[in-house]
Amino acid sequence: MQSVDRAVSVLEILARHGEAGVTEIADELGVHKSTAFRLLGALENRGLVTQARERGKYSLGAGLLRLAGAAAGRLDITQESAPLCRALADEVGDTVNVAVLDDDAAVNVAQARGAASVTSYNWIGRRTPLHATSSGKVLLAHAPAAVRERVLAAAPTAFTPHTVTAPDRLARLLDETVERGYAVAVEELETGLNAVAAPVRCHDGTVTGALSVSGPAYRLKAELLPEIAQRAVAVAAELSRRLGYGG
């Protein structure tokens, strides 16, 4: 933890000064120059700092722009989705969430509950499995091939008797998700819970999130899911437009 704290302090020093040498950084951290040099080397290897060879001083690297861009994208989708989730939740009466891909899971970043929602559970920040949720299926269907292959090869967990775990069947469902433009989950994560989800795209057309509607199976009956899905598709398209997608 001390090394992590010191590495963050190095970034803060460079953010304050614009650039600094090993000696300056070591003095501010109160450590030996060799320690500061090791920290800078590790940060440089990850692209978080860069060194001007002719001056020997360090400055913040382009790798921070990549991290900042990812954070800004999540912030944008969270802010822009809030009123749309609220309106859709009021319309359908159930819970509306927006999730983004985080490694091998879907993480919910926005939520609105409708008047008919039977639970007050807060899904924001919760990591959910890609193969057993509607949002997860959307994200997995549009994920890089390496992510998709890793999940399919990892013997997915069965959360209920309805969870699809066979890799070949799951692969077909993902292809269907892309083709029809939405995903469904019928009691796959929890018994009695059904959901639909549609993709949310950023300015370049990349799927950056998934907007879902979920509720109890006795109200969100399987035969009604295609109709609910079309509402999710429409709202996801509007959210995509607000994020700059013109397709």
pLDDT at 79 over 90: no
Cβ neighbours around 153 below 10 Å, total: 9
Same domain, 13 and 43: yes
Do 187 and 108 lie in a common domain? yes
Give the residue among 101, 99, 98 at the shortest CA–CA distance from 84: 98
Q: What is the average pLDDT value for the chain, to the nearest integer? A: 88
Reported as half-sphere exposure (CB side, CA atoms, 13 A), residue 116 has a value of 16
- My answer on whether 121 and 238 are in the same domain is yes
Backbone angles phi, psi at 197, to 5 degrees: -150, 150
Let me know whether 172 and 110 are in one domain: yes
**What is the rounded CA–CA span in Å between residue 96 and residue 215?**
9
- The predicted pLDDT at position 187 comes to 96
**What is the spatial distance between Cα 95 and Cα 214, in angstroms, rounded to a whole number?**
5
Indicate which CATH number applies to the domain containing 15: 1.10.10.10
82: CATH:
3.30.450.40
Position 194 scores a pLDDT of 96
The boundaries of the domain holding residue 238 are 77-243
End-to-end Cα separation, the chain, in angstroms: 45
* Same domain, yes or no: 150 and 204: yes
Looking at the structure, do residues 7 and 96 belong to the same domain, yes or no?
A: no
Same-domain check for residues 28 and 113: no
The 3-state DSSP class for residue 164 equals: coil
The number of folded domains in the chain is: 2
Based on its alpha-carbon atoms, the radius of gyration of the chain, rounded to whole angstroms, reads 22
Q: Is the CB of residue 40 less than 8 Å from the CB of residue 79?
A: no
Nearest Cα to 203, choosing from 177, 232, 240?
240
62 and 174 in a common domain = no
Determine the Cα–Cα distance for residues 133 and 222; give it in Å rounded to an integer: 15
- 238, 219 contact by CB (below 8 A): no
Q: Which of 56, 65, 58, 71 is nearest to 10 (CA)?
A: 58
Residues 178 and 88 in one domain: yes
So what's the pLDDT on residue 204? 84
Boundary-marking domain end, from 38, 55, 72: 72
Count of helix runs (H) and strand runs (E) in the chain: 8, 8
d(CA 216, CA 89): 14
Of 57-71, 101-115, 171-185, the poorest mean pLDDT is in 57-71
For residue 158, give Cα distances in angstroms to 2, 99, 150, 163, 164. Answer: 40, 21, 17, 5, 7
Residues 103 and 198 in one domain: yes
Dihedral in degrees, nearest 10, Cα atoms 129, 205, 212, 85: 130
Q: Point out the domain boundary residue: 33, 48, 72.
A: 72
Give 187 or 122, the one with higher predicted confidence: 187
Residue pLDDT, tens place only, 48-62: 888 876 557 888 887
d(CA 92, CA 222): 15
Domain boundary among 45, 72, 99: 72
The answer on 200 and 149 residing in a single domain is yes
The verdict on 131 and 205 lying in the same domain is: yes
N residues, the chain = 247
Asked if 240 contacts 200 with a C-beta cutoff of 8 angstroms, the reply is yes
Q: Tens digit of pLDDT for each residue in 81-94?
A: 899 999 999 999 99
